[in-house]
Structure 1
Amino acid sequence: MAQPAEFDVIVVGGGPSGATAATDLAMQGHRVLLLDKAGRIKPCGGAIPPRLMRDFDIPAQLLCAHANAARMIAPSGKVVDMPIEGGYVGMVNRDTFDEFLRERAAKSGAERRKGEFERLEHQADGPTVIHYVDSEGHAQQVTARYVIGADGARSKVGKQTIKGAEKIPCVFAYHEIIAVPETLSGDFDPSRCDVYYQGHLSPDFYAWIFPHGSTASIGVGSAQKGFSLRGAIKDLRAASGLDVNETVRTEGAPIPLKPLDRWDNGRDVLLAGDAAGVVAPSSGEGIYYAMVCGREAAAAVSEALATGKVSALKLARKRFMKAHGKVFWVLAIMQHFWYRSDKRRERFVQMCADPDVQYLTWQAYMNKELVRAKPAAHARIFLKDMGHLLGLSPT
């Protein structure tokens, strides 16, 4: 007779995706273990849309800042401001935000343990065994019927169980958290997100300065090997007058920019969040999509537990891509065309000055879906977009 599992589900990784999955599963009455490596804070601009606040019941006090505009900076130094009409970009600190989500999972009934995943073992006639090292360095093991791997872009769970997971394309991100004094320095605005599309700061992505209340995130991403991310941040801080500000901490990590073709192993493992590759191309936005992915993973695993059909695990990717795949496709095309040279970046920033572009961009960001209410605006943007790409529009 098969030995019973200690848990229905083990969630490896306590970021937004894993913590959301653990919360949803625990609230449904499942036996859940949330296994998280302590002390890690992911480099992240920390931007979240109003829809995330609504869909995941996030209290307003978790926001460290509200941004009511974005500033796009072209290679030439030209600036385009994009005010947000009727909305905002919420900013969170990942240390406090992620811990809130983990604590909510625990309050919902999930058991929390601090430890680092080592390997997964399949038994011929029994539950899946998870081997991990606890916070004191001791080897431990625990059993479960299903495992959700939410352990980041270089997921150990994924590499061991999902074909192709080790080949996920990534941008490497690095940022520095700086202190913001009461007397502001440089051109920093605590209510604005600044995005730099300049090849010397990132040859294939962008750099940013995002407000975080008493601190700010200054970051950059690039997939180009050998490019100095630290050097780019040093240059950006000097150019923006923020080189005199105290550096609170620094962080770096790979950020995936393409969803994996498969998220489950057809048996007992399902990936979620960065491990599944659900970071939006072009923008690099990941928190909202990670939490949606975690919710879909929880729903799929719950269905597998209820029916005994492992084919239910495939539903997580199917449902996520149905809801967001078209947005990811559009953003991937944008990144491919507009981030390839400073000439194209210049035209991209110029295009952002268009009122139609600004309206549809902010509506899509805040509501997390393509806006269909203004077909004429879409047509105008398409024509302008092609004109800029072909060099037919004036610079």
Structure 2
Amino acid sequence: MPEERTVDVVVVGGGPAGATAAEDLARSGVRVALLDRDGRVKPCGGAIPPRLIQDFHIPDSQLVARIRTARMISPTGRKVDIHIEGGFVGMVDRGPFDSYLRDRAEQAGALRLHGQFLRIDRENGTAVVYRDASDGSEKRIATRLIIGADGARSRVARNEVPGGDTIPYVIAYHEILSAPEGPAAQMADYEPDRCDVIYDGRISPDFYGWVFPHGQTLSVGIGTEVDSVNLKHATEALRAQAGLTGCETLRREGAPIPLKPLDRWDNGRDLVLAGDAAGVVAPSSGEGIYYAMAGGRVAATAAAATLKSGRIKDLRLARQLFMREHKTVFRVLRSMQDAYYRSDERRERFVSLCHDLDVQRLTFEAYMNKSLVKARPMAHLKIGAKNIAHLLRLVPETSV
């Protein structure tokens, strides 16, 4: 088997996490290779908050829509519109967006490898073995460290990191449609700058459904951990509910979304995980792009620190840095999912709670800035009291 060359770090997987890690390492002067199958498009709603746009310097050209309203829809059809004050949520198409991130990593100096990861070979040092996309041959590239960013159900995580083979998942399925126009637009309850989030057990018994605009197209889909749910039938029902049955279906996609960050992200030897491979998708919302890129950045930081110090324990920095900033948000979102996604009665109460202006402001401040805002302590206390009142059924479902 030919060995093409030697690098300091091989990043396995070229999604937002892997591409970000590769770009950061290349810009810091590390010899890094980015291995990706290229062309695979992950099913994704495509929402990115302003903090991502700012932190990772995403140009306007990558945005296919700007969302200014989020509509929450309850099991009984109640609709609560939450307006994004003084900003917007950007929408991207994952195919062009991921390709842009990979190209940017290459322009920064990362070596691009097109192929499928096969295994890690440690017989003579450490090397990544992959199947080259151009001719199907097995190739080997020697490296000092590896970043596993090969997504949910990661082969790298499964073979290298404790718990990597048992992480729980939600299955996400969506259909990409042409945006309604002409007669179809008259039938549809659809706005090109509004995201709809549907909390309804008939659509998803344990998560939610969505309608997300993407400019000339839109994403309609659901997530669920329940095996018995027919994803296509549920999405068909969602399309009918939104008046989108007449829109052309361009493609159908499905993929797992991890539900919980792994307790450990490194193997204590030569490897650290990032993105979906590490389980960093936000509970309750299923948001993953920002956290994937943040995970790629801390993985790159940990790898660079390890290369400089020679201390393998520095690989632990990836999880430590990520959790230091995001652990509380993940904990709150997990508690919300556990409390409100259990039944339609609870979902109804959750949407009712979303009428509250304090809830709306703090929710979107937290989403846009990726932190729990501490500037309004009384608002936090009020929300906590209202939350308890709803869970204890002290507030009528129709209360606003």
Aligned twin of 1:309: 311
Distance 2:304 2:4 in 1: 17
- 1:174–1:219: 8 Å Cα contact kept in structure 2? yes
Distance 2:392 2:5 in 1: 60
Amino acid at match of 1:78: R
Amino acid at match of 1:117: F
- Is 1:110 the equivalent of 2:107? no
CA shift at 1:244, angstroms?
1.0
Instruction: Map 1:177-216 onto structure 2 (within 5 A).
Output: 177-183=176-182, 184=185, 185-216=187-218
Aligned twin of 1:296: 298
Aligned twin of 1:284: 286
Instruction: Map 1:339-378 onto structure 2 (within 5 A).
Output: 339-378=341-380
Aligned twin of 1:326: 328
Aligned twin of 2:271: 269
- 2:38–2:114: 8 Å Cα contact kept in structure 1? yes
Amino acid at match of 1:157: V
Aligned twin of 2:154: 155
Aligned twin of 2:15: 15
What are the Cα deviations for residues 277-312 of structure 1, in whole angstroms up to 9, with x where unaligned?
Answer: 000000000000000010000000000001111110
Q: What SS does the aligned partner of 1:359 have? A: helix
- Is 1:35 the equivalent of 2:22? no
Residue of 245, 248, 260 corresponding to 1:246: 248
Aligned twin of 1:386: 388
Aligned twin of 1:234: 236
Q: What SS does the aligned partner of 1:100 have? A: helix
- 2:196–2:212: 8 Å Cα contact kept in structure 1? yes
CA shift at 1:266, angstroms?
0.5
Q: What SS does the aligned partner of 2:165 have? A: helix
Structure 2 residue runs of 5 or longer lacking an equivalent are none
Question: Aligned residue pairs: how many?
Answer: 391
Distance 1:105 1:127 in 2: 26
- 2:17–2:149: 8 Å Cα contact kept in structure 1? yes
- 1:5–1:145: 8 Å Cα contact kept in structure 2? no
Distance 1:50 1:188 in 2: 23
CA shift at 1:330, angstroms?
0.4
Q: What SS does the aligned partner of 1:387 have? A: helix
Amino acid at match of 1:189: E
Length-normalised TM-score, structure 2 = 0.96
- 1:120–1:160: 8 Å Cα contact kept in structure 2? no
- 1:12–1:18: 8 Å Cα contact kept in structure 2? yes
CA shift at 1:5, angstroms?
7.1
Distance 1:100 1:204 in 2: 34
C-alpha RMSD of matched pairs (Å): 1.2
Aligned twin of 1:97: 97
Distance 1:216 1:186 in 2: 12
Q: What SS does the aligned partner of 1:167 have? A: coil
CA shift at 1:142, angstroms?
1.2
Aligned twin of 1:67: 67
Amino acid at match of 1:199: G
CA shift at 1:127, angstroms?
2.8
Structure 1 residue runs of 5 or longer lacking an equivalent are none
Range that drifts further, 38-47 or 193-202: 38-47
Length-normalised TM-score, structure 1 = 0.97
